[in-house]
Chains A and B, each alone.
Chain A
């Protein structure tokens, strides 16, 4: 893989965020997804595995996030949404999705991502039309929120890799978790 590393550091790529390791991160995630595809040979199963891995990351990442961001307890789901979009996504992925499409009950909203560093350079081949490439993110969000006593459902409603104009993550609040269960690995 000698050609991939920055002898081409001056590429005019719109995705160049100036982080020296963002391409390594993107390529690592890509290698992970393609390896899972080879191992499981089934898109739905790969989606599940990515979500599981994401969950395991999320239950740990929340500690790092809370320590580094000094964000206090959120009073309602709207505050949670803002913190996720403006603080968490910015901190870990360098992007700030917008929060929209609130349900009337205020228990469901969308995150619209104009760009997504996980999918830089990625083009899904035709034989993987059911693959939700960034499924890891759903698991991360679900796992992280579970550790702050919120059970949520997270799914991709739109995906630029599958032809949509934007990437939309839909988050739904299910219930507050009362019992303090230890972080279980899935």
Chain B
């Protein structure tokens, strides 16, 4: 069910990154912020310089999560993703099966609730 929300959000991400003409290199511009609100969820986006996209979907009823917390979640995701990429047995494009990655994501999700 989340897949639909996430897929739609990818379109919004594409829109945002193609709209920006100037070259942006710093961390702030990797974070795209709230992509669009729906009735039930808030969807946040983040894209790397290599066009890898991260999407976080948060329940609308969670009002305590602040912007800088979301940013820090994306930063952790980005770092964990880089560790996965550095595993020589991981082929880019494959689904991520790394236990280390899973445990970081789970911990982050638990902390966010």
Complex alpha-carbon distance, A105 and B84, angstroms? 44
Q: Contacting chain A: which of B3-11, B14-22, B46-54?
A: B46-54
**A23 near B89: Cβ-Cβ < 8 Å:** no
Q: Is B88 an interface residue (CB 8 A)?
A: yes
Q: Is B99 an interface residue (CB 8 A)?
A: yes
Complex alpha-carbon distance, A117 and B99, angstroms? 19
Kindly report which residue of chain A lies nearest to residue B86, judged by CB atoms: A121
**B88 near A23: Cβ-Cβ < 8 Å:** no
**A122 near B89: Cβ-Cβ < 8 Å:** yes
**B79 near A26: Cβ-Cβ < 8 Å:** no
Task: Identify which of B52, B78, B86, B99 contacts A23 (C-beta below 8 A).
Answer: B86
Q: How large is the interface on B (under 10, 10 to 19, 20 to 34, 35 or more residues)?
A: 20 to 34
Q: Is B98 an interface residue (CB 8 A)?
A: yes
> A3-B50, A123-B98, A123-B100 given as contacts; is B79 within 8 A of A34 (CB)?
no
Q: Is B87 an interface residue (CB 8 A)?
A: yes
Complex alpha-carbon distance, A3 and B86, angstroms? 10
Q: Is A180 an interface residue (CB 8 A)?
A: no
Sample of 27 A–B contacts (CB below 8 Å): A3-B48, A3-B49, A3-B85, A4-B82, A4-B85, A4-B86, A7-B25, A7-B49, A11-B79, A11-B82, A23-B86, A26-B86, A30-B86, A30-B87, A30-B88, A30-B89, A120-B86, A121-B83, A121-B84, A123-B87, A123-B89, A123-B98, A123-B100, A124-B89, A125-B89, A125-B97, A128-B89
